[in-house]
């Protein structure tokens, strides 16, 4: 199949479909991903699974022009819609939403392999923005997957995908009915399970804390922290030293610090062994 011409004027005439505010716009099927950086990553990773692209009518933006060109190249229908229509998908959309019929999937075969692997388990995280920020950090620090409770599987919302800035296209989010049972299974695969909690015995920054090759970090609820059944499964409970005991780190910030320190320790251990 030959790509469409990259001539902007002919593309804009040939590929654009305009919506009418007075007529209901049918939402395409697939996962809705808003925001320039997130949409750009969708086209970079899985352009063959893009269903449709919505852009704000009367836009004047070179970045959106680039996305429209990518859609034209992939022969994806581009529809101009009003801000009101885009707002129904996500309040902060930057004038663009893509609909994609695929998400990254977890490889259970990889879980059984040896070597350095890091996963996250989110124990009842409530805020989709926190999940988005955690996805972005996880992507950049090489996390292989994120586990969430089945009842929170809707956390991977358009808002979360937008905040992730492309991370949602690389890090699978896997839902499970029982996180304690899941963590027990992971321990049978030689994973260590570490929970982050203010009352933890071990300090994240302590050099005496030996970071294992296969590690699952468990991040608790923004307000309540780790639930007792989750704590009981953890091999270690780790805290992050802070100046005031009367407050706590945001869940995504705590996850970023734990993942950053884990990445540093793993890199140091590789360097020492070489």
pLDDT in tens, 158-209: 999 999 999 999 999 999 999 999 999 999 999 999 999 988 889 999 989 9
Residue 60 pLDDT grade (very low, low, confident, very high; cuts 50, 70, 90): confident
Residue spans per domain, the chain = 8-100, 108-273
- Greater confidence, 22 or 223? 223
Q: Tell me how far CA of residue 227 lies from CA of 20, 58, 71, 165, 174, in angstroms.
A: 49, 49, 45, 30, 19
Q: What is the pLDDT of residue 20?
A: 52
**pLDDT 10s digits, 215-257:** 999 998 777 789 999 999 999 999 999 888 777 888 999 999 9
Query: How far, rounded to the nearest angstrom, does the alpha carbon of residue 31 sit from its chain's CA centroid?
Result: 13
Q: What is the mean pLDDT of the chain?
A: 87
For a pLDDT cut of 70, what percent of the chain falls above it?
88
Please determine, looking at this structure, whether the domain spanning 8-100 carries the CATH number 3.30.1330.30.
yes
Looking at residue 253, what is its pLDDT? Answer: 95
Q: DSSP 3-state assignment of 213?
A: coil
Measured between alpha carbons, how far is 85 from 18 in angstroms, rounded to an integer?
Answer: 12
Percent residues over pLDDT 90 in the chain: 69
Residue 10 has pLDDT above 50, yes or no: no
Band of pLDDT at residue 18, cut at 50, 70 and 90: low
Spatial contact of 100 and 156, defined as CB atoms under 8 Å apart:
no
Q: What is the pLDDT of residue 270?
A: 52
Q: Does pLDDT of 273 surpass 90?
A: no
> What is the value of pTM for the model shown?
0.86
CA–CA distance, 204 with 256 (Å, rounded to integer): 12
CATH value of 108-273 in 3.30.565.10, 1.10.150.20, 3.40.1280.10, 3.50.4.10 = 3.40.1280.10
- Quick one: how many helices (H) and strands (E) in the chain? 10, 12
């Amino acid at each position: 199949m030959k790509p469409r011409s990259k001539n902007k004027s002919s593309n804009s005439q040939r590929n654009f479909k305009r919506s009418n505010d007075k007529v209901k716009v049918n939402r395409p099927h697939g996962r809705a991903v808003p925001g320039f950086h997130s949409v750009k990553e969708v086209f970079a990773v899985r352009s063959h699974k893009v269903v449709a692209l919505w852009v704000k009518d009367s836009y004047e933006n070179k970045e959106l022009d680039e996305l429209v060109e990518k859609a034209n190249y992939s022969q994806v229908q581009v529809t101009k819609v009003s801000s009101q229509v885009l707002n129904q998908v996500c309040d902060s959309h930057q004038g663009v939403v893509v609909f994609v019929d695929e998400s990254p999937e977890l490889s259970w075969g990889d879980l059984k392999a040896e070597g350095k692997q890091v996963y996250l388990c989110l124990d009842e995280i409530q805020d989709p923005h926190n999940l988005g920020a955690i996805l972005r950090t996880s992507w950049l620090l090489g996390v292989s997957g994120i586990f969430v409770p089945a009842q929170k599987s809707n956390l991977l919302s358009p808002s979360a995908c937008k905040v992730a800035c492309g991370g949602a296209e690389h890090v699978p989010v896997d839902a499970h009915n029982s996180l304690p049972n899941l963590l027990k299974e992971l321990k049978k695969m030689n994973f260590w399970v570490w929970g982050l909690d203010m009352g933890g015995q071990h300090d994240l920054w302590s050099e005496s804390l030996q970071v294992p090759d296969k590690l699952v970090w468990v991040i608790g609820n923004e307000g309540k922290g780790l639930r007792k059944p989750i704590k009981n499964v953890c091999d270690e409970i780790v805290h992050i030293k802070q100046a005031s005991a009367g407050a706590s780190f945001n869940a995504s910030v705590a996850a970023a610090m734990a993942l950053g320190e884990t990445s540093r320790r793993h890199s140091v251990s590789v360097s020492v062994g070489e």
